[in-house]
Structures are given as structure tokens and as C-alpha cells.
Amino acid sequence: MRNYVTAAPGELRDRRQLHRLGIRQINSTPNHPTTCGKVERFQQTLKKWLTHQPKASTIDELQTQLDAFTDEYNHRRPHRSLPHKATPAVIYTSRPKATPATRIDTHNRVRTDRVDQAGAITLRVNGRLHHIGIGRHRYRTRVLVLAQDHHITVINAATGEVLRDFILDPTRDYQPTGAPKGPKRKKPRT
């Protein structure tokens, strides 16, 4: 017998997107002392410090006190658990910073298409059809479409000229060119 874990409607999609971006999600367990306790101890220190300060009568005064605490806590106060009783700011600035991981699960596609009479091509992304504006003056132009997830590059197949290079907005059906609209068409008289 299998155990199936169901996800909320957008949760699985969000997990896949995080995975594609190389982000590893870490969740803490509620009331778990090793994860939540650090923040609780910091808040306790802040509250103790604030009780020894004159009571702030405005938000600006409180913000000034919080800024003073932050400066003292991070830049002046030696921390007994850090090497050589260094300040947290010294340790933070001396360590290498995290950078985005290389993308693991990118979806690469190459396809050919022809610009239609409306000046657009179509591309299906995540099961949804998108219309990508190229320009009416490119009618019948054969194009090469390079798609890596939402990064789309449209190239003139005959000349190699890059016609569009953009990030697809998955919430919009039509992806406009960004060029100013031309003159309105005249309606034919009947």
C-alpha cells in the first residue's frame, strides 16, 4: 500500500520552480529549539535592552533606539561564542557570500516557426499557448525560436538577426514587442 502526500494547488509548481532555480528549501519545525530558539533569544536580548532605555513616545524615537541597538549588537559588542570574541559584523563580512546555484532542471527547446499575418508566432509554455509579437512587417518570415524556461530568443532563420530576446511573462497570453503602435487602420467603406 502506498502513502500519497498531497500538495496544495500551487505548492508543487512552486517546489518545481525552486528546484529549477537551484534553490534548496529548508523548513523549520515549529517550537524546535535549534531553529526557532535563535530568534527567540535575540528578541529576548532586544527586549531587555529596550527596558533599560527611556520610553519612546513616537515611532521615530523607537526607530532611533532600534538602530542604536542594531549598531551596538552587530558592530561593537564582542560575541563570546565567536572566534577571538569578534563582532557579528566582522564574521559576516569575512565569509564568502552565497550565490545562486547553477540551474539543474532547465527546459531547453529549439523550434522553427513562421510569422503569421498578425505579426506574431505562437509558443506553448507549461501547457499554455502564448502569442509573441514580432511585427507585421515580418509576415511570413521564417524564424528559429530558442526557449530556455521563460527566456525566449527569436532569430530570423535566413539572416541570423535576433528579432526578439526577452523573458516571457507567463501571466499574459500576448507578449507585445514594446514598440510604439502604428497608425490606426482605416475601416473599408461599404
Q: What is the pLDDT of residues 8-42, one digit of tens each?
A: 666 666 777 777 777 777 776 666 655 666 677 78
Cα separation, 121 vs 163, in Å, equals 12
The radius of gyration of the chain's CA atoms, rounded to the nearest angstrom, is: 28
> Percent of the chain having pLDDT more than 90?
44
Express each pLDDT in 97-109 by its tens digit.
887 766 666 678 9
Residue 2 has pLDDT above 50, yes or no: no
pLDDT for res 117? 94
- What confidence category does residue 177 fall into, taking pLDDT thresholds of 50, 70 and 90? confident
Average pLDDT rounded to a whole number, residues 58-68: 94
> Percent of the chain having pLDDT more than 70?
83
pLDDT for res 10? 62
- Cβ contact 65:53 at 8 Å: yes
Average pLDDT along the chain: 83
- Cβ contact 153:113 at 8 Å: no
Matching residue, cell 530558442? 146
Average pLDDT rounded to a whole number, residues 48-68: 94
- Cβ contact 144:110 at 8 Å: yes
Query: Three-state DSSP class for 173?
Result: coil
- Cβ contact 133:174 at 8 Å: yes
Residue 154 has pLDDT above 80, yes or no: yes
**Surface-to-core class of residue 144, CB atoms within 10 Å of its CB (0-12 exposed, 13-18 middle, 19+ buried):** middle
